[in-house]
Structure 1
Amino acid sequence: MEAQGLLLERMLLTIFPLVAIVTVGFFYARRHSPDMNAANQINIDVFVPALIFSVLSAESFDLLKYQSLAIGAAVIVIGSGLLLFPLCKLLKVDPKTFIPPMMFSNSGNLGIPLIVLAFGEHALQAAVVLFLVENLLHFTVGIYILDHKTRLLNLLRMPMILATILGLIWSGFDLTMPKALHTSIDMLGQISIPLMLFSLGVRMTSVSFEHWRIGALAALLCPASGIIIALIAQQFLQLNTTQFAYLLVFSALPPAVLNYMVAERYNQEPQQVASIVLLGNIGSLIVIPATLAVVW
Protein backbone atom coordinates (compact mmCIF):
# COMPACT_ATOMS: atom_id res chain seq x y z
CA MET A 1 0.00 0.00 0.00
CA GLU A 2 2.83 2.35 0.92
CA ALA A 3 4.61 1.54 -2.35
CA GLN A 4 1.47 2.40 -4.31
CA GLY A 5 1.18 5.68 -2.44
CA LEU A 6 4.78 6.58 -3.29
CA LEU A 7 4.17 5.68 -6.94
CA LEU A 8 1.08 7.91 -7.10
CA GLU A 9 2.97 10.76 -5.43
CA ARG A 10 5.82 10.44 -7.92
CA MET A 11 3.33 10.29 -10.78
CA LEU A 12 1.67 13.48 -9.56
CA LEU A 13 4.99 15.28 -9.20
CA THR A 14 5.90 14.28 -12.76
CA ILE A 15 2.62 14.80 -14.63
CA PHE A 16 1.08 17.73 -12.75
CA PRO A 17 3.67 20.40 -13.69
CA LEU A 18 3.34 19.49 -17.37
CA VAL A 19 -0.46 19.50 -17.34
CA ALA A 20 -0.52 22.70 -15.27
CA ILE A 21 1.62 24.69 -17.72
CA VAL A 22 -0.29 23.37 -20.75
CA THR A 23 -3.57 24.24 -18.99
CA VAL A 24 -2.39 27.78 -18.22
CA GLY A 25 -1.52 28.21 -21.91
CA PHE A 26 -4.90 26.83 -22.96
CA PHE A 27 -7.02 29.08 -20.73
CA TYR A 28 -4.87 32.13 -21.36
CA ALA A 29 -5.35 31.60 -25.10
CA ARG A 30 -9.10 31.14 -24.67
CA ARG A 31 -9.32 34.54 -23.03
CA HIS A 32 -6.69 36.60 -24.84
CA SER A 33 -6.12 34.76 -28.17
CA PRO A 34 -2.37 35.50 -28.25
CA ASP A 35 -0.41 35.23 -31.48
CA MET A 36 2.30 32.72 -30.60
CA ASN A 37 3.94 32.69 -34.05
CA ALA A 38 6.74 35.06 -33.05
CA ALA A 39 7.33 33.31 -29.70
CA ASN A 40 7.39 29.88 -31.36
CA GLN A 41 9.78 31.11 -34.04
CA ILE A 42 12.13 32.53 -31.41
CA ASN A 43 11.92 29.27 -29.48
CA ILE A 44 12.84 27.25 -32.58
CA ASP A 45 15.58 29.67 -33.69
CA VAL A 46 17.11 30.65 -30.33
CA PHE A 47 15.98 28.90 -27.15
CA VAL A 48 15.86 25.26 -28.35
CA PRO A 49 19.22 25.56 -30.19
CA ALA A 50 20.67 27.06 -27.00
CA LEU A 51 19.35 24.07 -25.01
CA ILE A 52 20.77 21.62 -27.55
CA PHE A 53 24.18 23.29 -27.64
CA SER A 54 24.28 23.61 -23.85
CA VAL A 55 23.61 19.88 -23.40
CA LEU A 56 25.81 18.58 -26.21
CA SER A 57 28.79 20.81 -25.41
CA ALA A 58 28.82 19.81 -21.74
CA GLU A 59 31.96 18.10 -20.51
CA SER A 60 29.96 15.07 -19.33
CA PHE A 61 28.26 14.43 -22.66
CA ASP A 62 29.33 11.18 -24.33
CA LEU A 63 27.72 10.60 -27.73
CA LEU A 64 28.76 6.93 -27.85
CA LYS A 65 26.92 6.39 -24.57
CA TYR A 66 23.63 7.16 -26.34
CA GLN A 67 24.41 5.56 -29.71
CA SER A 68 22.12 2.56 -29.19
CA LEU A 69 19.40 4.77 -27.71
CA ALA A 70 19.51 6.99 -30.81
CA ILE A 71 19.25 3.93 -33.07
CA GLY A 72 16.28 2.73 -31.03
CA ALA A 73 14.53 6.09 -31.44
CA ALA A 74 15.06 6.01 -35.21
CA VAL A 75 13.74 2.44 -35.39
CA ILE A 76 10.61 3.45 -33.46
CA VAL A 77 9.90 6.45 -35.68
CA ILE A 78 10.37 4.62 -38.98
CA GLY A 79 9.01 1.29 -37.73
CA SER A 80 5.76 2.86 -36.52
CA GLY A 81 5.12 4.25 -39.99
CA LEU A 82 5.83 0.93 -41.67
CA LEU A 83 3.72 -1.01 -39.16
CA LEU A 84 0.65 1.20 -39.56
CA PHE A 85 0.91 1.94 -43.28
CA PRO A 86 -1.17 -1.13 -44.32
CA LEU A 87 -4.05 0.14 -42.12
CA CYS A 88 -4.49 3.29 -44.20
CA LYS A 89 -6.38 1.46 -46.93
CA LEU A 90 -8.57 -0.30 -44.38
CA LEU A 91 -9.33 2.99 -42.59
CA LYS A 92 -9.83 4.80 -45.91
CA VAL A 93 -7.44 7.57 -44.94
CA ASP A 94 -4.65 9.17 -46.98
CA PRO A 95 -1.25 7.86 -45.76
CA LYS A 96 0.16 11.39 -46.08
CA THR A 97 -2.43 12.49 -43.53
CA PHE A 98 -2.30 9.56 -41.13
CA ILE A 99 1.27 8.22 -41.12
CA PRO A 100 3.34 11.34 -40.16
CA PRO A 101 1.44 11.89 -36.86
CA MET A 102 1.92 8.21 -36.07
CA MET A 103 5.66 8.48 -36.68
CA PHE A 104 6.62 11.85 -35.23
CA SER A 105 5.87 12.23 -31.55
CA ASN A 106 5.79 15.12 -29.12
CA SER A 107 9.40 14.59 -28.06
CA GLY A 108 10.07 18.32 -27.66
CA ASN A 109 7.05 19.97 -26.05
CA LEU A 110 6.26 16.94 -23.90
CA GLY A 111 9.10 14.44 -24.16
CA ILE A 112 11.99 16.51 -22.81
CA PRO A 113 10.22 17.89 -19.71
CA LEU A 114 8.51 14.55 -19.05
CA ILE A 115 11.74 12.53 -19.09
CA VAL A 116 13.56 15.12 -16.96
CA LEU A 117 10.77 15.24 -14.37
CA ALA A 118 10.35 11.46 -14.37
CA PHE A 119 14.03 10.50 -14.13
CA GLY A 120 15.89 13.61 -12.95
CA GLU A 121 18.19 16.25 -14.45
CA HIS A 122 20.75 13.58 -15.40
CA ALA A 123 18.25 12.33 -18.01
CA LEU A 124 18.30 15.64 -19.92
CA GLN A 125 21.07 14.49 -22.28
CA ALA A 126 19.15 11.34 -23.23
CA ALA A 127 15.95 13.36 -23.70
CA VAL A 128 17.73 15.78 -26.03
CA VAL A 129 19.23 12.90 -28.04
CA LEU A 130 15.76 11.37 -28.49
CA PHE A 131 14.37 14.77 -29.51
CA LEU A 132 17.19 15.33 -32.02
CA VAL A 133 16.63 11.96 -33.70
CA GLU A 134 12.87 12.48 -33.96
CA ASN A 135 13.25 16.09 -35.11
CA LEU A 136 15.88 15.25 -37.72
CA LEU A 137 13.70 12.48 -39.16
CA HIS A 138 10.66 14.77 -39.13
CA PHE A 139 12.43 17.41 -41.21
CA THR A 140 13.84 14.83 -43.63
CA VAL A 141 11.64 11.75 -43.95
CA GLY A 142 8.51 13.57 -42.75
CA ILE A 143 8.82 16.43 -45.20
CA TYR A 144 9.75 14.01 -48.01
CA ILE A 145 6.52 12.04 -47.38
CA LEU A 146 4.51 15.21 -48.03
CA ASP A 147 6.71 16.65 -50.78
CA HIS A 148 9.10 14.44 -52.75
CA LYS A 149 10.73 17.55 -54.26
CA THR A 150 11.98 18.92 -50.94
CA ARG A 151 15.70 19.80 -50.71
CA LEU A 152 17.30 18.09 -47.73
CA LEU A 153 20.32 20.42 -47.90
CA ASN A 154 18.04 23.12 -46.47
CA LEU A 155 18.44 21.30 -43.15
CA LEU A 156 21.90 22.81 -42.78
CA ARG A 157 20.30 26.23 -42.49
CA MET A 158 18.21 25.25 -39.46
CA PRO A 159 19.49 26.67 -36.15
CA MET A 160 18.74 23.38 -34.34
CA ILE A 161 20.87 21.40 -36.79
CA LEU A 162 23.67 23.97 -36.63
CA ALA A 163 23.53 23.89 -32.82
CA THR A 164 23.73 20.09 -32.91
CA ILE A 165 26.79 20.08 -35.17
CA LEU A 166 28.51 22.83 -33.20
CA GLY A 167 27.72 21.17 -29.86
CA LEU A 168 29.11 17.81 -31.00
CA ILE A 169 32.27 19.48 -32.34
CA TRP A 170 32.67 21.39 -29.07
CA SER A 171 32.30 18.21 -27.03
CA GLY A 172 34.36 16.06 -29.40
CA PHE A 173 37.37 18.38 -29.27
CA ASP A 174 36.90 19.01 -25.54
CA LEU A 175 36.86 22.77 -26.07
CA THR A 176 36.44 25.14 -23.15
CA MET A 177 34.05 28.05 -22.83
CA PRO A 178 34.06 31.07 -20.50
CA LYS A 179 31.77 30.31 -17.57
CA ALA A 180 29.79 33.54 -18.04
CA LEU A 181 29.06 32.65 -21.69
CA HIS A 182 28.08 29.09 -20.82
CA THR A 183 25.71 30.36 -18.12
CA SER A 184 24.10 32.76 -20.60
CA ILE A 185 23.53 29.99 -23.17
CA ASP A 186 22.24 27.65 -20.46
CA MET A 187 19.74 30.27 -19.25
CA LEU A 188 18.46 30.79 -22.80
CA GLY A 189 18.02 27.03 -23.16
CA GLN A 190 16.02 26.83 -19.93
CA ILE A 191 13.39 29.11 -21.45
CA SER A 192 12.58 26.58 -24.17
CA ILE A 193 10.90 23.82 -22.13
CA PRO A 194 8.21 25.84 -20.30
CA LEU A 195 7.60 27.86 -23.47
CA MET A 196 7.08 24.61 -25.42
CA LEU A 197 4.46 23.47 -22.90
CA PHE A 198 2.71 26.85 -22.77
CA SER A 199 2.66 26.98 -26.58
CA LEU A 200 1.18 23.47 -26.67
CA GLY A 201 -1.70 24.69 -24.52
CA VAL A 202 -2.26 27.68 -26.79
CA ARG A 203 -2.19 25.49 -29.89
CA MET A 204 -4.82 23.17 -28.41
CA THR A 205 -7.43 25.93 -28.68
CA SER A 206 -7.15 26.00 -32.48
CA VAL A 207 -7.87 22.34 -33.21
CA SER A 208 -11.24 20.64 -33.26
CA PHE A 209 -13.02 17.33 -32.72
CA GLU A 210 -14.42 17.37 -36.25
CA HIS A 211 -12.70 14.10 -37.21
CA TRP A 212 -12.94 12.53 -33.77
CA ARG A 213 -13.24 8.92 -34.96
CA ILE A 214 -9.87 8.79 -36.72
CA GLY A 215 -8.42 10.91 -33.91
CA ALA A 216 -9.61 8.48 -31.23
CA LEU A 217 -8.25 5.51 -33.15
CA ALA A 218 -4.93 7.28 -33.66
CA ALA A 219 -4.75 8.01 -29.92
CA LEU A 220 -4.56 4.24 -29.40
CA LEU A 221 -2.48 3.25 -32.42
CA CYS A 222 0.26 5.86 -32.00
CA PRO A 223 1.54 4.73 -28.57
CA ALA A 224 0.67 1.08 -29.23
CA SER A 225 2.77 0.91 -32.41
CA GLY A 226 5.64 2.75 -30.74
CA ILE A 227 5.69 0.44 -27.73
CA ILE A 228 5.51 -2.69 -29.93
CA ILE A 229 8.47 -1.50 -32.01
CA ALA A 230 10.41 -0.56 -28.86
CA LEU A 231 9.93 -4.03 -27.38
CA ILE A 232 11.09 -5.64 -30.62
CA ALA A 233 14.07 -3.28 -30.95
CA GLN A 234 15.17 -4.03 -27.38
CA GLN A 235 15.74 -7.67 -28.35
CA PHE A 236 18.53 -6.51 -30.67
CA LEU A 237 19.78 -3.36 -28.94
CA GLN A 238 19.94 -4.79 -25.41
CA LEU A 239 19.80 -1.36 -23.78
CA ASN A 240 20.41 -1.15 -20.04
CA THR A 241 17.40 -0.76 -17.78
CA THR A 242 17.65 3.04 -17.55
CA GLN A 243 18.00 3.71 -21.27
CA PHE A 244 15.26 1.21 -22.10
CA ALA A 245 12.99 3.12 -19.71
CA TYR A 246 13.77 6.34 -21.63
CA LEU A 247 13.04 4.57 -24.92
CA LEU A 248 9.71 3.18 -23.69
CA VAL A 249 8.55 6.62 -22.55
CA PHE A 250 9.64 8.04 -25.92
CA SER A 251 7.71 5.29 -27.73
CA ALA A 252 4.50 6.11 -25.84
CA LEU A 253 4.49 9.85 -26.58
CA PRO A 254 1.51 11.31 -28.49
CA PRO A 255 1.72 12.92 -31.96
CA ALA A 256 3.72 16.15 -32.16
CA VAL A 257 1.84 19.43 -32.57
CA LEU A 258 4.31 20.14 -35.36
CA ASN A 259 2.44 17.58 -37.49
CA TYR A 260 -0.52 19.94 -37.63
CA MET A 261 1.67 22.92 -38.54
CA VAL A 262 3.40 20.98 -41.32
CA ALA A 263 0.09 19.61 -42.65
CA GLU A 264 -1.26 23.16 -42.72
CA ARG A 265 1.78 24.35 -44.64
CA TYR A 266 1.44 21.60 -47.26
CA ASN A 267 -2.39 21.71 -47.26
CA GLN A 268 -2.55 18.03 -46.32
CA GLU A 269 -5.97 17.79 -44.65
CA PRO A 270 -4.87 19.93 -41.67
CA GLN A 271 -8.20 19.67 -39.79
CA GLN A 272 -8.02 15.88 -39.82
CA VAL A 273 -4.41 15.99 -38.63
CA ALA A 274 -5.49 18.49 -35.96
CA SER A 275 -8.02 16.01 -34.55
CA ILE A 276 -5.39 13.25 -34.53
CA VAL A 277 -2.97 15.51 -32.65
CA LEU A 278 -5.56 16.81 -30.18
CA LEU A 279 -7.07 13.45 -29.24
CA GLY A 280 -3.64 11.84 -29.19
CA ASN A 281 -2.40 14.35 -26.62
CA ILE A 282 -5.59 14.00 -24.56
CA GLY A 283 -5.18 10.22 -24.65
CA SER A 284 -1.61 10.60 -23.37
CA LEU A 285 -3.05 11.63 -19.98
CA ILE A 286 -3.87 7.93 -19.59
CA VAL A 287 -1.07 6.35 -21.64
CA ILE A 288 1.86 8.27 -20.11
CA PRO A 289 1.03 7.53 -16.44
CA ALA A 290 0.49 3.86 -17.34
CA THR A 291 3.87 3.75 -19.10
CA LEU A 292 5.64 5.46 -16.17
CA ALA A 293 4.06 2.96 -13.77
CA VAL A 294 5.67 0.16 -15.80
CA VAL A 295 9.17 1.66 -16.18
CA TRP A 296 9.60 2.92 -12.61
Structure 2
Amino acid sequence: MLLRIVSILFPLFAITAVGFLVGRRAKPDLSQANKLNMDVFVPALVFGALANKSFHIMQFLPLLGATTVAVVGSGLLGWGVARMIGVAPRTFVPPMMFNNCGNLGLPLAVLAFGEEALAPAVVMFMVSNLIHFTFGAWYLDHHARLASVWRVPSVLATLAGLAVGIAGIEVWQPAMLAIKMLGDISIPLMLFALGVRISESRISAIQLGVTGAVARPLIGMALSVVLIWLVPLPERERALLLVFGALPPAVLNYMFAERYHQEPEKVASMVLIGNVLAVAFLPLALAMAL
Protein backbone atom coordinates (compact mmCIF):
# COMPACT_ATOMS: atom_id res chain seq x y z
CA MET A 1 0.00 0.00 0.00
CA LEU A 2 2.80 2.42 0.91
CA LEU A 3 4.61 1.69 -2.34
CA ARG A 4 1.42 2.27 -4.32
CA ILE A 5 0.79 5.61 -2.59
CA VAL A 6 4.38 6.72 -3.23
CA SER A 7 4.15 5.69 -6.89
CA ILE A 8 0.93 7.71 -7.27
CA LEU A 9 2.22 10.86 -5.59
CA PHE A 10 5.81 10.81 -6.85
CA PRO A 11 5.08 12.16 -10.38
CA LEU A 12 3.01 15.01 -8.93
CA PHE A 13 5.61 16.13 -6.43
CA ALA A 14 8.51 15.45 -8.82
CA ILE A 15 7.11 17.78 -11.51
CA THR A 16 6.23 20.38 -8.85
CA ALA A 17 9.77 20.09 -7.43
CA VAL A 18 11.27 20.62 -10.90
CA GLY A 19 9.12 23.75 -11.24
CA PHE A 20 10.31 24.92 -7.82
CA LEU A 21 13.99 24.41 -8.70
CA VAL A 22 13.63 26.09 -12.09
CA GLY A 23 11.76 28.93 -10.41
CA ARG A 24 14.56 29.39 -7.88
CA ARG A 25 17.38 29.28 -10.43
CA ALA A 26 15.97 30.74 -13.65
CA LYS A 27 13.03 32.77 -12.30
CA PRO A 28 10.98 32.26 -15.49
CA ASP A 29 8.03 34.47 -16.31
CA LEU A 30 5.16 32.01 -16.69
CA SER A 31 2.44 34.63 -16.88
CA GLN A 32 1.75 33.95 -20.58
CA ALA A 33 2.05 30.17 -20.13
CA ASN A 34 -0.41 30.29 -17.21
CA LYS A 35 -2.79 32.45 -19.25
CA LEU A 36 -2.60 29.97 -22.13
CA ASN A 37 -3.23 27.12 -19.72
CA MET A 38 -6.31 28.76 -18.21
CA ASP A 39 -7.63 30.05 -21.55
CA VAL A 40 -6.83 27.11 -23.87
CA PHE A 41 -5.46 23.90 -22.34
CA VAL A 42 -7.68 23.56 -19.23
CA PRO A 43 -10.85 24.40 -21.21
CA ALA A 44 -9.83 21.75 -23.76
CA LEU A 45 -9.38 19.24 -20.93
CA VAL A 46 -12.79 20.11 -19.46
CA PHE A 47 -14.61 20.08 -22.80
CA GLY A 48 -12.96 16.80 -23.86
CA ALA A 49 -14.05 15.08 -20.65
CA LEU A 50 -17.64 16.40 -20.68
CA ALA A 51 -18.29 16.02 -24.43
CA ASN A 52 -17.03 12.44 -24.48
CA LYS A 53 -19.73 10.08 -25.77
CA SER A 54 -19.28 7.88 -22.66
CA PHE A 55 -20.00 10.81 -20.33
CA HIS A 56 -23.56 11.15 -19.00
CA ILE A 57 -24.09 14.04 -16.59
CA MET A 58 -27.17 12.46 -15.00
CA GLN A 59 -25.10 9.64 -13.54
CA PHE A 60 -22.96 12.22 -11.72
CA LEU A 61 -25.80 14.18 -10.11
CA PRO A 62 -25.20 12.66 -6.63
CA LEU A 63 -21.48 13.52 -6.91
CA LEU A 64 -22.33 17.02 -8.11
CA GLY A 65 -24.59 17.54 -5.10
CA ALA A 66 -22.07 16.06 -2.65
CA THR A 67 -19.29 18.27 -4.03
CA THR A 68 -21.47 21.37 -3.71
CA VAL A 69 -22.20 20.52 -0.07
CA ALA A 70 -18.49 19.85 0.54
CA VAL A 71 -17.47 23.25 -0.86
CA VAL A 72 -20.22 25.23 0.88
CA GLY A 73 -19.84 23.27 4.13
CA SER A 74 -16.10 23.92 4.19
CA GLY A 75 -16.86 27.63 3.90
CA LEU A 76 -19.34 27.56 6.79
CA LEU A 77 -16.96 25.64 9.06
CA GLY A 78 -14.09 27.90 7.94
CA TRP A 79 -16.18 30.93 8.91
CA GLY A 80 -16.62 29.47 12.40
CA VAL A 81 -12.87 28.82 12.74
CA ALA A 82 -12.10 32.37 11.52
CA ARG A 83 -14.37 33.89 14.17
CA MET A 84 -12.84 31.62 16.80
CA ILE A 85 -9.23 32.62 16.06
CA GLY A 86 -9.99 36.28 15.36
CA VAL A 87 -9.16 36.37 11.64
CA ALA A 88 -11.15 38.25 9.02
CA PRO A 89 -13.55 35.68 7.50
CA ARG A 90 -12.99 37.12 4.00
CA THR A 91 -9.31 36.23 4.39
CA PHE A 92 -9.80 32.76 5.86
CA VAL A 93 -13.00 31.38 4.30
CA PRO A 94 -12.07 31.25 0.57
CA PRO A 95 -8.93 29.09 1.13
CA MET A 96 -11.11 26.72 3.17
CA MET A 97 -13.76 26.52 0.44
CA PHE A 98 -11.70 26.36 -2.72
CA ASN A 99 -9.03 23.68 -2.89
CA ASN A 100 -6.39 22.80 -5.44
CA CYS A 101 -8.68 20.51 -7.45
CA GLY A 102 -7.08 21.75 -10.67
CA ASN A 103 -3.30 21.67 -10.24
CA LEU A 104 -3.29 18.64 -7.93
CA GLY A 105 -6.80 17.17 -8.02
CA LEU A 106 -7.06 16.33 -11.72
CA PRO A 107 -3.65 14.65 -12.14
CA LEU A 108 -4.01 12.88 -8.80
CA ALA A 109 -7.40 11.46 -9.82
CA VAL A 110 -5.97 10.00 -13.04
CA LEU A 111 -2.82 8.62 -11.43
CA ALA A 112 -4.65 7.08 -8.48
CA PHE A 113 -7.84 5.80 -10.12
CA GLY A 114 -7.17 5.63 -13.88
CA GLU A 115 -8.42 7.55 -16.93
CA GLU A 116 -12.02 6.64 -16.03
CA ALA A 117 -11.70 8.93 -13.00
CA LEU A 118 -11.08 12.02 -15.14
CA ALA A 119 -14.77 12.65 -15.90
CA PRO A 120 -15.95 12.66 -12.25
CA ALA A 121 -12.85 14.66 -11.26
CA VAL A 122 -13.75 17.25 -13.91
CA VAL A 123 -17.31 17.38 -12.50
CA MET A 124 -15.87 18.23 -9.07
CA PHE A 125 -13.50 20.79 -10.60
CA MET A 126 -16.46 22.28 -12.51
CA VAL A 127 -18.51 22.71 -9.30
CA SER A 128 -15.64 24.33 -7.38
CA ASN A 129 -14.73 26.56 -10.32
CA LEU A 130 -18.28 27.84 -10.85
CA ILE A 131 -18.76 28.61 -7.15
CA HIS A 132 -15.34 30.30 -6.95
CA PHE A 133 -15.96 32.63 -9.89
CA THR A 134 -19.48 33.53 -8.71
CA PHE A 135 -19.96 33.36 -4.94
CA GLY A 136 -16.20 33.55 -4.25
CA ALA A 137 -15.85 36.81 -6.20
CA TRP A 138 -19.02 38.26 -4.66
CA TYR A 139 -17.91 37.30 -1.13
CA LEU A 140 -14.69 39.30 -1.50
CA ASP A 141 -16.38 42.22 -3.24
CA HIS A 142 -20.16 42.63 -3.13
CA HIS A 143 -19.88 44.95 -6.13
CA ALA A 144 -18.10 42.36 -8.30
CA ARG A 145 -19.64 41.97 -11.75
CA LEU A 146 -20.79 38.36 -11.82
CA ALA A 147 -21.93 38.66 -15.42
CA SER A 148 -18.27 38.44 -16.44
CA VAL A 149 -18.11 34.82 -15.20
CA TRP A 150 -19.62 33.67 -18.48
CA ARG A 151 -16.53 35.00 -20.27
CA VAL A 152 -14.21 32.71 -18.28
CA PRO A 153 -12.95 30.09 -20.82
CA SER A 154 -13.19 27.12 -18.43
CA VAL A 155 -16.80 28.07 -17.62
CA LEU A 156 -17.64 28.37 -21.33
CA ALA A 157 -15.96 24.99 -21.96
CA THR A 158 -18.04 23.48 -19.15
CA LEU A 159 -21.29 24.76 -20.62
CA ALA A 160 -20.31 23.72 -24.15
CA GLY A 161 -19.22 20.26 -23.02
CA LEU A 162 -22.40 19.73 -21.04
CA ALA A 163 -24.54 20.91 -23.99
CA VAL A 164 -22.80 18.53 -26.39
CA GLY A 165 -23.01 15.64 -23.92
CA ILE A 166 -26.68 16.18 -23.04
CA ALA A 167 -27.67 16.62 -26.69
CA GLY A 168 -25.89 13.39 -27.57
CA ILE A 169 -23.84 15.07 -30.31
CA GLU A 170 -20.86 12.98 -31.39
CA VAL A 171 -17.90 15.22 -32.12
CA TRP A 172 -15.76 14.19 -35.11
CA GLN A 173 -13.13 11.83 -33.70
CA PRO A 174 -10.05 13.60 -35.17
CA ALA A 175 -11.34 16.85 -33.65
CA MET A 176 -11.79 15.15 -30.27
CA LEU A 177 -8.26 13.79 -30.52
CA ALA A 178 -6.91 17.30 -31.19
CA ILE A 179 -8.88 18.63 -28.18
CA LYS A 180 -7.56 15.78 -26.01
CA MET A 181 -3.98 16.52 -27.07
CA LEU A 182 -4.43 20.17 -26.08
CA GLY A 183 -5.98 19.11 -22.77
CA ASP A 184 -3.07 16.75 -22.06
CA ILE A 185 -0.75 19.78 -21.96
CA SER A 186 -2.64 21.30 -19.05
CA ILE A 187 -1.88 18.83 -16.25
CA PRO A 188 1.95 18.80 -16.33
CA LEU A 189 1.97 22.55 -16.99
CA MET A 190 -0.26 23.14 -13.94
CA LEU A 191 2.07 21.12 -11.73
CA PHE A 192 5.20 22.81 -13.09
CA ALA A 193 3.64 26.27 -12.69
CA LEU A 194 2.59 25.39 -9.13
CA GLY A 195 6.24 24.69 -8.29
CA VAL A 196 7.35 28.00 -9.82
CA ARG A 197 4.60 29.84 -7.94
CA ILE A 198 5.69 28.27 -4.62
CA SER A 199 9.31 29.32 -5.29
CA GLU A 200 8.14 32.92 -5.72
CA SER A 201 5.91 33.02 -2.63
CA ARG A 202 6.98 34.41 0.70
CA ILE A 203 5.62 33.44 4.10
CA SER A 204 4.64 36.49 6.16
CA ALA A 205 2.11 34.99 8.60
CA ILE A 206 3.46 31.60 9.65
CA GLN A 207 0.98 30.91 12.47
CA LEU A 208 -2.07 31.71 10.34
CA GLY A 209 -0.51 29.88 7.41
CA VAL A 210 -0.10 26.69 9.42
CA THR A 211 -3.60 27.02 10.92
CA GLY A 212 -5.19 27.40 7.49
CA ALA A 213 -3.00 24.72 5.93
CA VAL A 214 -4.06 22.17 8.56
CA ALA A 215 -7.70 23.27 8.85
CA ARG A 216 -8.38 22.99 5.09
CA PRO A 217 -7.75 19.21 4.72
CA LEU A 218 -9.11 18.36 8.17
CA ILE A 219 -12.40 20.16 7.49
CA GLY A 220 -12.58 18.77 3.96
CA MET A 221 -11.89 15.17 4.94
CA ALA A 222 -14.35 15.30 7.85
CA LEU A 223 -17.09 16.57 5.56
CA SER A 224 -16.21 13.98 2.91
CA VAL A 225 -16.52 11.13 5.43
CA VAL A 226 -19.98 12.36 6.44
CA LEU A 227 -21.08 12.80 2.81
CA ILE A 228 -19.82 9.34 1.85
CA TRP A 229 -21.97 7.93 4.64
CA LEU A 230 -25.05 9.98 3.64
CA VAL A 231 -24.90 10.02 -0.18
CA PRO A 232 -25.01 6.78 -2.20
CA LEU A 233 -21.97 7.03 -4.50
CA PRO A 234 -20.04 4.45 -6.54
CA GLU A 235 -16.80 3.25 -4.98
CA ARG A 236 -14.54 5.33 -7.25
CA GLU A 237 -16.51 8.51 -6.58
CA ARG A 238 -16.41 7.93 -2.82
CA ALA A 239 -12.62 7.67 -3.04
CA LEU A 240 -12.43 10.80 -5.21
CA LEU A 241 -14.57 12.76 -2.75
CA LEU A 242 -12.29 11.77 0.11
CA VAL A 243 -9.18 12.83 -1.80
CA PHE A 244 -10.97 16.04 -2.87
CA GLY A 245 -11.49 16.87 0.79
CA ALA A 246 -7.78 16.49 1.56
CA LEU A 247 -6.54 18.86 -1.16
CA PRO A 248 -4.73 22.05 -0.07
CA PRO A 249 -5.95 25.62 -0.79
CA ALA A 250 -5.96 26.62 -4.46
CA VAL A 251 -3.37 29.07 -5.77
CA LEU A 252 -6.31 30.96 -7.30
CA ASN A 253 -7.25 32.10 -3.76
CA TYR A 254 -4.11 34.24 -3.67
CA MET A 255 -4.92 35.78 -7.07
CA PHE A 256 -8.45 36.64 -5.93
CA ALA A 257 -7.18 38.09 -2.62
CA GLU A 258 -4.68 40.23 -4.52
CA ARG A 259 -7.30 41.39 -7.00
CA TYR A 260 -9.80 42.36 -4.29
CA HIS A 261 -7.19 43.65 -1.78
CA GLN A 262 -8.09 41.12 0.93
CA GLU A 263 -4.82 40.55 2.85
CA PRO A 264 -3.07 38.68 0.00
CA GLU A 265 0.10 38.06 2.06
CA LYS A 266 -1.86 36.06 4.65
CA VAL A 267 -3.69 34.12 1.96
CA ALA A 268 -0.37 33.41 0.21
CA SER A 269 0.99 31.93 3.46
CA MET A 270 -1.99 29.56 3.78
CA VAL A 271 -1.67 28.53 0.13
CA LEU A 272 2.09 28.00 0.28
CA ILE A 273 2.18 26.07 3.57
CA GLY A 274 -0.96 24.14 2.60
CA ASN A 275 0.58 22.88 -0.63
CA VAL A 276 3.78 21.91 1.20
CA LEU A 277 1.81 20.03 3.87
CA ALA A 278 -0.07 18.17 1.13
CA VAL A 279 2.84 15.73 1.25
CA ALA A 280 1.43 14.58 4.60
CA PHE A 281 -2.35 14.82 4.08
CA LEU A 282 -2.64 13.36 0.58
CA PRO A 283 -0.97 10.03 1.52
CA LEU A 284 -3.37 9.82 4.46
CA ALA A 285 -6.37 10.39 2.20
CA LEU A 286 -5.11 7.86 -0.36
CA ALA A 287 -4.54 5.28 2.39
CA MET A 288 -8.18 5.72 3.44
CA ALA A 289 -9.49 5.74 -0.14
CA LEU A 290 -7.57 2.86 -1.75
Q: Are the aligned partners of 2:23 and 2:200 in contact in 1 as well (CA < 8 Å)?
A: no
Structure 2 equivalent of residue 4 of structure 1: none
Are residues 1:54 and 2:72 paired? no
For residue 119 of structure 2, give the secondary structure of its aligned residue in structure 1.
Answer: helix
Please show how residues 112-127 of structure 1 align to structure 2 within 5 Å: 112-127=106-121
TM-score (norm 2): 0.97
Work out the CA distance in 2 between the residues paired with 1:208 and 1:91. 22
Q: 1:180: how far off?
A: 1.9
Deviates more, 1:168-177 or 1:272-281: 168-177
Work out the CA distance in 1 between the residues paired with 2:68 and 2:96. 13
Which of 31, 45, 50 is 2:39 aligned to?
A: 45
Q: 1:174: how far off?
A: 1.7
Please show how residues 1-296 of structure 1 align to structure 2 within 5 Å: 7-296=1-290
Q: Are the aligned partners of 2:16 and 2:191 in contact in 1 as well (CA < 8 Å)?
A: yes
Q: 1:266: how far off?
A: 1.2
Q: Residue by residue, what CA displacement relative to the aligned partner does 1:63-114 show, whole Å, maximum 9, x if unpaired? A: 1111111111111111011112122233121111111001100000000001
- CA-based RMSD: 1.1
Q: 1:238: how far off?
A: 2.1
Q: Residue by residue, what CA displacement relative to the aligned partner does 1:197-222 show, whole Å, maximum 9, x if unpaired? A: 00100100122222111111112111
For residue 86 of structure 1, give the secondary structure of its aligned residue in structure 2.
Answer: helix
Work out the CA distance in 2 between the residues paired with 1:136 and 1:225. 21
Q: 1:229: how far off?
A: 1.5
Q: 1:234: how far off?
A: 2.8
Work out the CA distance in 1 between the residues paired with 2:75 and 2:177. 40
After superposition, the Cα gap between the structure-2 partners of 1:90 and 1:173, relative to the gap in structure 1 and judged at 3 Å, is closer
Work out the CA distance in 2 between the residues paired with 1:181 and 1:10. 35
Work out the CA distance in 1 between the residues paired with 2:171 and 2:129. 27
For residue 205 of structure 1, give the secondary structure of its aligned residue in structure 2.
Answer: helix
- Runs of 4+ more than 4 Å apart: none
TM-score (norm 1): 0.95
Q: Residue by residue, what CA displacement relative to the aligned partner does 1:162-218 show, whole Å, maximum 9, x if unpaired? A: 111111111112212222211111100000000100010010012222211111111
Work out the CA distance in 2 between the residues paired with 1:72 and 1:176. 29
Q: Are the aligned partners of 2:62 and 2:233 in contact in 1 as well (CA < 8 Å)?
A: yes
Work out the CA distance in 2 between the residues paired with 1:241 and 1:126. 12
For residue 85 of structure 1, give the secondary structure of its aligned residue in structure 2.
Answer: helix
Work out the CA distance in 1 between the residues paired with 2:167 and 2:233. 27
Segments of 5+ residues of structure 2 without an aligned counterpart are none
Identity of aligned residues (%): 47
Letter of the 2:260 counterpart: Y
